[in-house]
Amino acid sequence: MPKDKVSEWSSTAANNSDVGGINIAEGMAPSGVNNAMREIMAQIKDMQAGTDGDYFVVGGAFTATGAATFSSTMYVANLATFNNNVTIGASTTNSLTLNAATIVAPSALTVSSTGAIKLPSGTDAQRPTAAAGQIRYNTDAGRFEGYTTAWGGIGGGATGGGTDEVFQENGNTVNTSYTITTNKNAISAGDITIASSATVTVPTGSRWIIV
């Protein structure tokens, strides 16, 4: 098969008997030398321009001292270090997918924007394996929630019509067992129903007031 792009070349020199269909085996015609050189230069240029549809694999370190533009998918199988600005996508409709469980920032992670960050959202049943520090939006409760030793609402404050902040709303059924923090008090607007499978524990030094 003619070797029409760089990825079809062989790392075994003896296997490279043609380039672009031009015979370069032992005993080739002298005219084939010039034609083969021209074909090799054309294939390398096509790869540099990205017009050959070929892929580019770096087995060791890759350093770009100027701008590096990736117009298609870039796969990083190991550590990637960026010492300057990185722009993902040319418009606000582009997305970045990170197939990683942990993103490590050396000190603080700053998101500079006039927009917003959209947190993970889902139902009670879709909650992940709990770990302290998690936050998400609960679509069942219609509120943000976080996990310390149990899932609980985050902020929100009072709500109301328009810009009013008058009403503090709470659910009326306890479906999941909960323990009030020791030496803390809690208040709920009732009536409150505790499901048969749930319990509410009020430690010594704490109070739960239902009004």
State the pLDDT at residue 156: 65
The radius of gyration of the chain from alpha carbons, rounded to an integer in Å, stands at: 31
Is 163 in a helix, a strand, or coil?
coil
Kindly report the length of the chain. 211
The DSSP code sequence of 15-76 is: G--EETTEE-STT--THHHHHHHHHHHHHHHHHHHT-S------SS----SS----SS----
pLDDT in 10s for each residue of the chain, 211 residues: 688 888 888 889 888 899 998 988 888 888 889 999 999 999 889 888 878 878 777 777 777 777 777 777 777 777 777 777 777 766 666 777 777 677 777 778 888 888 888 899 999 999 999 999 999 998 987 888 899 888 888 876 677 788 777 888 888 999 989 999 899 999 999 899 999 999 999 999 999 999 9
Whether the Cβ atoms of residue 192 and residue 171 lie closer than 8 Å to each other: no
Closest CA to 190 of 166, 173, 165: 173
pLDDT, position 206: 93
pTM of the model: 0.49
**How many CA atoms lie less than 13 Å away from 201 in the CB half-sphere?**
10
Tell me which residue of 187, 170, 180, 174 sits closest to 205, measured CA to CA: 180
CA distance 73 to 61: 19
Return the bridge partners of 193, or none.
173
